[in-house]
Amino acid sequence: MDYFPAFLKLKDRPCLLVGGGVVASRKADLLLAAGARLTVVAPEICPALALYVTSGRITHRIGRFTPSDVNGHWLVVNASDDPELGSEVFEAANGARIFCNSVDDKGLCSYVTPAIIDRSPVVVAVSSGGAAPLLARKIRTQIETILPARLGHLATLASAWRDRVKNRIDGLLNRRRFWEQVFDGVVYDDVLAGRFQSATRNIAFLLEAASRSQRKEGEVWLVGAGPGDPGLLTMRALQLMQRADVIVHDRLVADEILALGRRDAEKISVGKVPGCRSTTQEEINELLIRLVRDGKRVCRLKGGDPFIFGRGGEEIEALARADIRYQVVPGITAAAGCAAYAGIPLTHRDMAQSVVLLTAHGKDSVDRLDWPSLARDRQTLALYMAVRRFPDIQSKLVEYGRSPDTPIAIIERGTSDNQRVIHGSLENLTDLAEQHGVIAPALLIVGEVAGLGVGREWFEGQAAAQAPDRPVPVAVF
Ligand SMILES: C[S@@+](CC[C@H](N)C(=O)[O-])C[C@H]1O[C@@H](n2cnc3c(N)ncnc32)[C@H](O)[C@@H]1O
What's the CA angle centered on 374, arms 371 and 377, to 5 degrees? Answer: 130
The parent domain of residue 402 ranges over 343-475
Closest atom of ligand 1 relative to the 228 alpha carbon: 19
What's the CA angle centered on 378, arms 375 and 381, to 5 degrees? Answer: 55
Residue 470 counted as domain residue:
yes
User: 197 and 104, same structural domain?
Assistant: no
User: How far apart (Å, rounded) are the C-alpha atoms in residues 137 and 115?
Assistant: 6
| Final residue belonging to a domain, choices 166, 188, 212 | 212
Ligand 1 geometric centre to CA of 229 (Å):
13
SS3 content of the chain, % helix, strand, coil (to 5): 40, 20, 40
| Final residue belonging to a domain, choices 163, 194, 212 | 212
User: 404 and 324, same structural domain?
Assistant: no
What is the average pLDDT value for the chain, to the nearest integer? 91
User: 250 and 162, same structural domain?
Assistant: no
- Peptide bond between residue 121 and the one before it cis (omega within 30 degrees of 0): yes
What's the CA angle centered on 194, arms 192 and 195, to 5 degrees? Answer: 110
Count of domains forming the chain: 4
> What DSSP line would sit under 198-211, residue for residue?
HHHHHHHHHHHHHH
User: 227 and 206, same structural domain?
Assistant: no
Beta strands in 360-447 (DSSP E): 379-384, 407-412, 420-425, 442-446
The whole-model pTM stands at 0.72
Lowest mean pLDDT segment, chosen from 99-103, 134-138, 465-469: 465-469
User: 313 and 397, same structural domain?
Assistant: no
User: 157 and 78, same structural domain?
Assistant: no
Residue 180 counted as domain residue:
yes
User: How far apart (Å, rounded) are the C-alpha atoms in residues 276 and 272?
Assistant: 7
User: 468 and 379, same structural domain?
Assistant: yes
Residue 338 counted as domain residue:
no
What is the residue with the minimal CA distance to atom 2 of ligand 1? 309
Residue 146 counted as domain residue:
no
Ligand 1 geometric centre to CA of 442 (Å):
7
Residue 40 CA: distances (Å) to CA of 48, 54, 88, 123, 358: 12, 13, 16, 26, 71
Out of 385, 388, 438, mutate this one to test ligand 1's pocket (max ligand atoms within 8 Å of CB): namely 385
**Banded model confidence at residue 460, pLDDT cuts 50, 70, 90:** confident
Sheet arrangement for strand 75-78: 58-62, 37-42, 14-18, 75-78, 99-102
Lowest mean pLDDT segment, chosen from 172-176, 228-232, 302-306: 172-176
User: 358 and 278, same structural domain?
Assistant: no
Residue 237 counted as domain residue:
yes
User: 456 and 351, same structural domain?
Assistant: yes
Closest atom of ligand 1 relative to the 361 alpha carbon: 27
pLDDT at 50: 96
User: How far apart (Å, rounded) are the C-alpha atoms in residues 191 and 183?
Assistant: 10
pLDDT at 350: 93
Is residue 271 scored above 80 in pLDDT?
Answer: no
**Banded model confidence at residue 363, pLDDT cuts 50, 70, 90:** low
pLDDT tens digits along 155-173: 999 999 999 999 999 888 8
pLDDT at 467: 47
Closest atom of ligand 1 relative to the 413 alpha carbon: 20
Is residue 31 scored above 90 in pLDDT?
Answer: yes
Name the most confidently modeled range: 136-145, 161-170, 261-270, 424-433.
Answer: 424-433
Which residues have C-beta atoms less than 6 Å from ligand 1? 227-228, 252, 302-305, 308-310, 333-334, 338, 384-385, 411, 413-416, 440-443
Residue 139 counted as domain residue:
no
Ligand 1 geometric centre to CA of 385 (Å):
7
User: 204 and 243, same structural domain?
Assistant: no
What's the CA angle centered on 210, arms 205 and 215, to 5 degrees? Answer: 165
| Final residue belonging to a domain, choices 187, 212, 237 | 212
Residue 314 counted as domain residue:
yes
Closest atom of ligand 1 relative to the 415 alpha carbon: 19
Is 205:186 a contact under the CB 8 Å cutoff?
A: no
Residue 31 counted as domain residue:
yes
Q: Which residues, 6+ apart, have CB-to-CB distance to 59 below 8 Å?
A: 38, 39, 40, 53
**Banded model confidence at residue 215, pLDDT cuts 50, 70, 90:** low
User: 469 and 357, same structural domain?
Assistant: yes
Is 423:408 a contact under the CB 8 Å cutoff?
A: yes
Ligand 1 geometric centre to CA of 410 (Å):
12
User: How far apart (Å, rounded) are the C-alpha atoms in residues 153 and 119?
Assistant: 8
